[in-house]
Amino acid sequence: MSKLNKKLLTIDRIFSSPSLEGTVMRSVKFSPTGKSVTFLQSKVGNKDQFDLWEYNIESAHKHLLVDSQILIPTGEKLSAEEKARRERQRTASLSGIIEYSWAKDGKQILFPLNGDLFVYNLETLKVLQITDSDDYDTDARFSPNGNYVSFIRNQNIYLVELEQNQVKQLTFDGEKTIKNGMAEFVAQEEMDRDTGYWWSDDDEKIAYIQVDESPVAITQRYEINAENIEIVKQRYPYTGEPNVIVKLVILNIKNMTAQPIDLGENNDIYLTRVQWLPNSQQLSYQVMSRNQQQMDLNFTDLKSNSHTVLKEKSKTWLNLHNDLFFLKDGSFIWASERDGFKHLYHYTNKGKRVTQLTQGNWIVDSIETINEDEKLLYFTASKKSATEKHLYSLNLSNNEVHQLTSKVGWHEITVDNTAQFYIDNWSNRDQPTHTSLHDITGKILTVLNDNTIDKNHPYYPYIDKHQKTEFGKLSSDDGHLLHYRLTKPLNFNPKKKYPVFHYTYGGPHAQVVTNSWGHFIDQYMAQQGFVVFALDNRGSARRGLTFESALYKHMGKVEIQDQLVGVEYLKTRTFIDTNKIGIFGWSYGGFMALKAMTKTNVFALGVAVAPVTDYKLYDTFYTERYMSTPQLNKLGYQKTAVFDDVKNIKKPLLVIHGMADDNVLFTNSTRLFKTLQDEGILFDSMIYPGAKHGISGEKPQKHVWKTISQYFIKHLK
């Protein structure tokens, strides 16, 4: 073995270019013709700047389509609205081309860049700029038949008529607190809905949401930068307080007539999903109650004649999904957790249940596509293991399920619109993301991106020090299985005692114990002589609603109980130094680290990044889903907040926060600082001027992870 591949990882190298992920195909899509695959790929010298590439399936040739650096050589300037949107999408650190879409005829590709819109023509091989404005254009897409490009500018909806290359404004009342076609804050941050408008398939109508933010109180938030302090007036919907008011409108772009849809007398609701039926004459929309325990799926015609097709109810909460699929006969496939696990159901167009299509103690992740002619539905799920993700086919005639992906690990799937092929982005803890093209039966046709760790791979110099990950299961106090992962230190000696880097997130809609690639911090800490441990407690994702809802109305209780199950397990391993178990978490994980330090005495130190310290300081949709409102659950909120118990902190504590965080507001940490100081509790802190929730950017990431890792090394080594 050469010296080249015996290097130790460093924090600087983990966050430098080229990426240790290797060559990764991001946002992979089939062309509408099925002849090629397009994707985004980062530059070798800048892992965070992306260009548009194409892979021709027939010729097996990969080539660059659009170089973002040539179009915008001086770099991007983002509007405040776009910065916030990217923060919500977790793409704030990325630049260049970060999203794109195909025209239906397969001849053009649309992408936004630096606030303007560009179209790449595959016949002329040229890029055409279709908007050029001092204002920022965002959320752009082709109309279904490719006649128009629509986008948002200055809180209104616009379109470009492509034949005439003319810009046309569609809505005119978007200003101040009124926003047309835009997703409100909680929709972007919590509902997985980052748009507010939808085209009908006939290219004639746009359904859009009009948001009125005036009921939401203005919060004066300080964004503390390195050179100045900005006072930002943000309408932040604190839990228990008023939300925005939403209206749903159908706009006919031919005659410019607008038809409001009657959403009922109660405007304290959430409009979570909107989707046209294939006939373009009916619109479906999903309305969720404020307490998130009831969801109505409604259909309306073009004259606002609405009716409820089905209702979902829960004693705790309902999770949102994107699995509504209409069939040719007007019936539809729908996902529900009514039996405790997310499964698929078939309904008539009147909302009468035909049959339950999938069942078992596992969950469907999402419908990928349906081939009605072959009566086959394709979906991804946790059926094999909760730590893995696989593609399955479902025979709609007899409900037989067949697993199509076979390699152990995590499979992210993209299926073409004819349901003949799929792209498999597969990885596991020892294999970086490998991309391959398959026919729909699972047969591999070609490897699009091998990404094997050979001598040309960026991770090759470190592969000899790569530590294997051990997976296992423990049992919670109520009998639920808890998945964990454990990575042993470099040069492991079973006779020695090692400190522990105990990583936690612990919150809903997230999973940290997955057999997937990319956990470089785990490898770094293992090379620093730590056992790295993580456990998915009750409340975490992909285990069913009963498993998730154990934390209902008392967040931070069962999660910590389960993490302590993990600690007790660690104590049974003879190589663990039980006096040197440190806990670290970010966001909800930061909250967990604080709860662990205030509610137990088993952790030798805690590091909390961007922690929620009091859920009364967090937003409506997320917090009320799990905690109800402060008015209805006063004691629950009081117990969930960390302040009453900070006097119990006896070990080293490091709190880290971005000083411009607009998600978990910096106030969470300043209140904690004051409480710790009043109690005479010594602690450490690191704050980042101008940083948002993710403290994104190469330099800040290097600094924050050096701060975290060195704190563990200083106190536990």
Bond into 18 cis (ω within 30): yes
Give 646's DSSP letter.
G
Cα 574 from Cα 563, distance rounded (Å)? 19
Task: Please give the DSSP secondary-structure letter assigned to residue 6.
Answer: G
- Does residue 199 contact residue 143 with C-beta atoms inside 8 Å? yes
**Which residues 6+ apart lie within 8 Å of 479 measured at CB?**
none
Catalytic-residue membership of 480: no
Read off φ and ψ for residue 383, nearest 5 degrees: -55, -40
**CB-based contact 655:672 (threshold 8 Å):** yes
CA dist., res. 150 & res. 167, Å (int): 9
> What is the rounded distance in angstroms from the CA atom of residue 323 to the CA atom of residue 379?
10
* Amino acid type, 477: D
Q: What is d(CA 301, CA 304) in angstroms, rounded to the nearest whole number?
A: 6
Active-site residue, selected from the candidate residues 519, 661, 662, 669 = 661
Q: Which of 453, 395, 445 is nearest to 423 (CA)?
A: 445
Helix (H) or strand (E) holding 456: none
Tokens 């964004």 label which residue?
223
Using alpha carbons, select from 316, 306, 311 the residue that is nearest to residue 334.
311
Q: Cα–Cα distance between 528 and 526 in angstroms, integer? A: 5
Stated as kind and residue range, the H or E segment containing 77 is none
Q: What does residue 298 show for φ and ψ, rounded to 5 degrees?
A: -115, 150
Q: Is 212 noted as a catalytic residue in this protein?
A: no
Whether the CB-CB separation of 474 and 552 falls below 8 Å is answered with no
| Half-sphere exposure at residue 116, Cβ-oriented, CA atoms within 13 angstroms | 14
Q: Which two tokens stand for residue 59?
A: 């010729």
**Dist CA 435 CA 423 (whole Å):** 7
SS3 609: strand
User: Which amino acid belongs to residue 624?
Assistant: E
Residue 659 to residue 649: CA distance in whole angstroms: 24
Q: Name residue 241's beta-bridge partners.
A: none
Retrieve residue 380's tokens.
Answer: 């991804």
Half-sphere exposure of 529 (CA within 13 A, CB side): 12
Return the bridge partners of 644, or none: none
Residues 122 and 56 sit within 8 Å (Cβ to Cβ): no
Closest CA to 400 of 359, 440, 449: 359
- Give me the residue label for tokens 């490898």: 523
Which residue among 424, 480, 693, 709 is the active-site one? Answer: 693
**C-alpha dihedral (175, 180, 183, 185), degrees to nearest 10:** 20
Catalytic, 427? Answer no
Alpha helices in 172-257 (DSSP H): 185-190
What crossing angle do the helices spanning 588-599 and 558-572 adopt, rounded to 10°?
Answer: 70
**C-beta contacts of 313-321 below 8 A and 24+ residues apart:** 314/545, 316/545, 316/549, 316/552, 317/291, 317/292, 317/293, 317/549, 317/552, 317/625, 317/626, 318/288, 318/292, 318/293, 318/294, 319/509, 319/545, 319/548, 320/191, 320/192, 320/272, 320/273, 320/288, 321/366
Confirm if 650 and 601 have CB atoms less than 8 A apart: yes
- Of the residues 549, 587, 669, 696, which is catalytic? 587
Q: Structure tokens of 104?
A: 């239906």
**Which residue's entry shows tokens 């049992």?**
475
CA 227 to chain centre: 32
Active site positions, annotated: 587, 661, 693
